[in-house]
Amino acid sequence: MKANFHLYPSKWGLTSPDTNIDHRRVPNLQVFFSRFGEELEISENPDVYLPGDIVTWDLGRGITHIGIVSNHYQKEIPLIVHNIGTGPKLENMLFNFEITGHYRYK
């Protein structure tokens, strides 16, 4: 990120990377995964989301979120591993919010 700071979102008014938080900011992670992984189709079809895929969401009011598709299912929908402040969870929440990114990173 340091070498290519200009490629990352400038939402925070910074002139250089902030090593305390940049690695956790979802918009920065989206750029990273699109640059170094594979950006995939966003779909309402649960079959396109494979275990290990990374998904990002817009929770509304400027709040973004990220999770990992698991190999566990509920009603044919893959459960998501994520942490939204109350510790890590495994939940059926793939389609609860607007999906803004779908990535595969190897």
Q: What is the pLDDT of residue 24?
A: 66
Q: What is the pLDDT of residue 21?
A: 54
- Per-residue pLDDT band for 28 (boundaries 50, 70, 90) equals confident
CA distance 17 to 47: 37
CA distance 2 to 58: 26
Full-model pTM: 0.81
Q: What is the pLDDT of residue 102?
A: 99
Within 10 A of 81 (CB to CB), how many other CB atoms are there? Answer: 14
**Is residue 32 predicted with pLDDT exceeding 80?**
yes
Chain segment 33-67, per-residue pLDDT in tens: 999 999 999 999 999 999 999 999 999 998 999 99
